[in-house]
Structure 1
Amino acid sequence: MRRVLVTSARQDGFVLPMLRLVRAMTARGDAVWFLGGETYRERVEAAGATFVRLPYDEAVPASRVSDPDRRSGVRELGRVLRTLFLDTVEADHRAVRALHDELRFDLVVTEPLFVGAVAMSLLPREERPAVLVVGFFPLPFRSVDTAPYGSGLPPAPGARGVLRNAALWAAAEATVLGGVRRAFHAELERLTGSRPTGSLFDLPLVADAYAHTTVPGFEYPRRALSRKVRFVGPLPPPPGFALPSWWDYGDARRIVHVTQGTYANGDLTELVVPTLRALADRDDLLVVATTGGPAPDVVEAAYGGPLPANARVERFMSYEHLLPSCAVMVTNGGFGSVHHALRWGVPLVVAGTTEDRAEVNARVAWTGAGLDLRAQRPAPERIREAVLQVLDDHGRHRRATARLARAIAATDAERSVLRLADELCCGAPAST
């Protein structure tokens, strides 16, 4: 039996996938503690873990989705990293160290943005447990082959691309990232006695291993990716949602599913409502919207009247039933939502530029899995045009998603993470 500490920031997109791993660990007999926000106590305990509350739980907002000033790009990403993670790194790190001093964990499993747990890797190995980072967004690490994370730029070929990337990284470091990186590194040196090296986005690589929850075909090729990075495939969607009474397998209409996920769903007029408007007159389509939490009547209120006859709205749907029947998914580009679509080979129309969405959506377009509208609030006309283009593309996007679906089907994320955890706990960290 291993003693494991799992940590995560207070966002469904991170916490809920981590809880799938918690269930897998507790099911095989590991003793698991989960450090997180009070909101998740019941779900943590239902997964079989011991809940430990974050020390600053009431002082930090649970999400930024209602922030009217959300913006995109490298500059905004730097601001978010500073305000949401640098400000809490000391409290997080001291909480993790105190728990380890008391309980002597064999392993810490965390996501990249819980920097206080990642920082445990900077301590001498004999003073700390093994540290495994599980990534739920596109690879952020600096590379000669990629533009700075947050720019949403796909690779450019040959020497021209290398020169472009070098110039962009230098500009980002000089204007935005350099100050944040120095502040992060100085704080981590103060807390651990060891100063990290590399770019701000390379920090998760100080851990013993990085489990990346996608397949190589969804990532840009890099000539020097650290061997610590292991592609484990995406975690499956949560089970257990009952089918609504209106569901009818005999309905011949093609289904278009629209969602803003579980994080950026505070304003459903960004994508859900425009999609309903875009396809309101298409009697040959059934538009199924999920809110990711808010009550369905919020959508009707935002729509400004009765919903179209071809629209159905639910908080959640069972993706094991919905997605195999889908012709297109329209989404703002949440990493989890996109991978759920890819698992069933569903082509995508994506629209979102904040948080990690510019990077996710650029990869959707780069792989050929769908169309990227490159907008936070696309007009209904643009959504309509894109959906109809994907529906009538003679299978081009569906062939691309089918390739990714086959790659995903060959993975078992839970088993791969557990195997990697065992490797680390046996004293064989992933090689650099």
Structure 2
Amino acid sequence: MRVLFASTRGSGHFQPLVPLIDACTARGDDVLVVAPPALEALLADRKQPYRIGGEPPQEELARVMARGLALPPEDGVAMMVGEVFGRLGTAAMLPALEEACRDWRPDLVLHEAFEFASVVAAERHGIPHARVAVSAARFTGATDPLLGPVLDPYGPGIAQRLLASPYLSRLPASLDPSPYAVTHRYHEALRPQALPDWWGGAEEPLVNITLGTEAGALPTAIGLYRAVLEAVSVLPVRVLLTTGHHIDVQDLGPLPPHVHVEPWVPQADVLRSASLVVCHGGSGTVYGALAAGVPLVCVPLFADQPENARLVAAAGAGTAVTPTGGPVDEPPKLGPDDVRSIRAAAERVLEEPSYRARAQSLADEMRTTARAAELLGTLEP
């Protein structure tokens, strides 16, 4: 089978496709990945063939992003989906995806849920398609009404056929019920490795601090990391801070010996040993922690993160701390009250066994879903 994978920019949008890409490769399928220029370095490190599509005009994209930042969070999300992923992203990526569907002739198109150009191309060439969740279904579903104005100018009814296509999610049904009639759930079979002993034999609980792959590019990023470190590093724990590649560790200032910083560590390796994850509530981090049975303290900053934090708290698998340190129309930052709230939340989750028990229950549920390779068998045309 020939399978075309399509993603928007951003590692968090691409990563949910990876287990499916790897499963296709392992079973001998022909795979082609089409993505924007921002993902080229990531794709170049992988073994699958790829093509790089276009990107929106930078001046127009900057104007739209600036307008979105000045809006209340829900309106900002609507602009991001409708304008950035929708109008601008679809127009930029469509030529490359049209060419791939026409010349490479895939049997199936799998796209992350906010990449739409591949759906237009697949519909024009009569190719089945399915979307892969990168967020909670309730968050994605709230943006579905935006799709008609974006997609139907390319062909009547495309938006409705996208919504009727199979929806593939790694989140468990009890945490994230789906409104989509055809929903399949899958999980990754990981083999995590032990972490190096960066703490000289210390055995206190390990807390992983991460703000994902995008927050490090914010102008307030250094302040965010310093605030979370201030909240957690005074506790009797070992700390592993993973920053992504946007941060120079020297900018964080002096660090105590029980705090270790790395740009990136395989998530599964960290979670193998972690007692708690303190994070931004990004979907990839939340999924990974729950799949490993590790509770969370979520400090949501933007996009789908508030919804993910609510789901975690409602499930009893962690807590949410909503930042109060800055206006809603400015890049997020954390103030002294936030530091105290994060510290209290971390102490509570570490001390109360019910949080870990609930996270482990969700991990057990996730392991009952299909493996990626098994799921592919149900999607074959």
The bucket for the TM-score relative to the shorter chain is 0.7 to 0.9
Q: 1:293–1:316: 8 Å Cα contact kept in structure 2?
A: yes
CA distance 1:73–1:87, change in 2 (3 Å):
same
Residues 374 and 226 (structure 1), Cα distance of their counterparts in 2 relative to 1, 3 Å cut:
same
| Within-5 A mapping of 1:225-304 | 225-233=179-187, 235=188, 243-244=195-196, 246-247=198-199, 250-267=201-218, 268-269=221-222, 271-282=224-235, 284-295=236-247, 298-301=248-251, 303=252
Q: CA distance change for structure 1 residues 238 and 88 in 2, over 3 Å: closer, same or farther?
A: farther
Cα distance in 2 for residues equivalent to 1:316 and 1:384 = 24
Q: Give the Cα–Cα distance (whole angstroms) in 2 for the partners of residues 228 and 326 of structure 1.
A: 35
Contact 2:209 2:279 (C-alpha < 8 Å) held by counterparts: yes
Q: 2:76 is matched with which residue?
A: 76
Give the secondary-structure state (helix, strand or coil) at the position aligned to 1:226. coil
Give yes or no for contact 2:55–2:92 (8 Å, CA) kept in 1: yes
Match of 1:10 in 2: 9
Matches within 5 A, 1:243-392: 243-244=195-196, 246-247=198-199, 250-267=201-218, 268-269=221-222, 271-282=224-235, 284-295=236-247, 298-301=248-251, 303=252, 305-375=253-323, 376-378=332-334, 379-392=338-351
Structure number with bigger Rg: 1
The answer as to 2:152 corresponding to 1:189 is yes
2:60 counterpart of 1:102:
no
1:232-267 deviation digits (Å, cap 9, x = unpaired): 23x467978x8446255x422111111001122224
8 Å contact from structure 2 (residues 5, 34) kept in 1: yes
SS of equivalent residue, structure 2 residue 217:
coil
SS in 1 for 2:264: coil
On the 8 A contact 2:56/2:89 being kept in 1, the answer is no
2:370, 2:158 → 1: CA distance? 35
**Residue 215 of structure 2: SS of its match in structure 1?**
coil
Tell me the distance in 2 between the aligned counterparts of 1:236 and 1:274. Answer: 34
Query: CA offsets, 1:311-366, max 9 Å, x none?
Result: 11111224444323222110000111112111221111001141110111110011
Per-residue CA deviation, residues 60-108 of structure 1 (Å, 9 max, x unaligned), is 979x999993766321111112331212323433432232122222111
User: 1:150-165 maps to which residues of 2 (within 5 A)?
Assistant: none
What TM-score, normalized to structure 2?
Answer: 0.84
Matches of 2:156 and 2:104, distance apart in 1: 22
Residue number in structure 2 paired with 1:154: none
Tell me whether 1:404 sits opposite 2:356 in the alignment. Answer: no
Which amino acid in the other structure matches residue 373 of structure 2?
A: R
Q: Secondary structure at the match of 1:216?
A: coil
Residue 157 of structure 1: aligned partner:
none
What secondary structure does 1:25 align onto?
A: helix
Query: 1:140–1:121: structure 2 CA closer, same or farther, 3 Å change rule?
Result: farther
Any gaps of 5 or more consecutive residues in structure 1? 150-176, 198-202, 426-432
Which stretch of the first structure deviates more once superposed, 379-388 or 87-96? 87-96
Partner of 2:43: 44
% identical equivalent positions? 24
- Over 3 Å counting, the alpha-carbon distance change for 1:294 and 1:23 in structure 2 is same
Mapped to 2, the partners of 1:300 and 1:39 lie a distance apart of 26
Mapped to 2, the partners of 1:71 and 1:236 lie a distance apart of 40
Unaligned runs of 5+ in 2: 324-331
The question of whether the paired residues in 1 share the 8 Å contact of 2:2 and 2:31 is answered with yes
TM-score, normalised via structure 1 length:
0.75
State the distance in 1 between where 2:313 and 2:346 align. 14
| 1:118-154 deviations in Å (ceiling 9; x for gaps) | 334655xxx41110111111004798xxxx56xxxxx
Root-mean-square deviation over aligned CA pairs: 3.2
Q: Counterpart amino acid of 1:115?
A: F
- Secondary structure of 2:132's counterpart equals strand
Q: Give the aligned partner of residue 327 of structure 2.
A: none
Change (3 A) 1:263 1:90: same
Paired letter, 1:216: A
Q: Partner of 1:109: helix, strand, or coil? A: strand
Inter-CA distance 239–59: structure 2 relative to 1 (3 Å threshold) = farther
Amino acid at match of 1:138: A
Could you tell me how far 1:116 is from its partner in structure 2? Answer: 1.3
Residue 429 of structure 1 aligns with which residue?
none
Shift of 1:229: 1.4
**CA positional deviation for 1:30:** 1.2
Matched residue count: 365
Q: What is the rounded CA distance, in whole Å, between the counterparts of 2:171 and 2:210 in structure 1?
A: 20
Q: Secondary structure at the match of 2:375?
A: helix
In the TM superposition, residue 42 of structure 1 has moved relative to its aligned partner by: 5.5
1:287 maps to a residue whose letter is V
What residue in structure 1 maps to residue 329 of structure 2? none
Residue aligning to 2:137: 139
AA in 2 matched with 1:218? L
For residues 361-383 of structure 1, the C-alpha deviation after alignment (integer angstroms, 9 at most, x for no partner) is: 11001101111112254421111
> Against the structure 1 CA distance between its residues 387 and 122, is the aligned structure 2 distance closer, same or farther, given a 3 Å change threshold?
same
